[in-house]
Amino acid sequence: MFGRSLFQPEYRILKKALEEQLPKEAIIRLFDNQEKIQELNVSPSALIEEMAQTGNLKPDIDCEFFETSEDVPDPRELPPMQKNLIVFDDLMLEKQNKCEAY
């Protein structure tokens, strides 16, 4: 994932959940229930850590976050036997050279 706004709460939650190796279904539930989590005044980060400790989790997604375009890997260098997705977000005002090259 490449973006200039990775400091935003949604990205921080997503990054934390992926680092804790939550499966995608658990991450989806986190975002689906964000209003309930806020009402309970529970820290999303603490909730993620608890989910990671109490669950019998099987990670199914590897994710890397990049804030500079120089760090984004060339898609030709990614393992071809894996499904790969590169997300370029919030770059309308940035130079598009890296995106255009891919």
- pTM, two decimals, is 0.77
Please count the structural domains in the chain: 1
Q: Calculate the average pLDDT of the chain.
A: 83
Beta-bridged to residue 3, according to DSSP, are 89
What are the tens digits of pLDDT across the range 8-55? 888 999 999 988 888 888 889 999 998 998 899 989 999 999 888 887
pLDDT at 32: 94
Whether the predicted pLDDT of 94 surpasses 90:
no
Determine the Cα–Cα distance for residues 86 and 72; give it in Å rounded to an integer.
9
pLDDT digits (tens, 9 = 90+) for 58-78: 666 788 898 877 788 888 888
Give the range of the structural domain holding residue 52, as residue numbers without chain letter.
Answer: 2-101
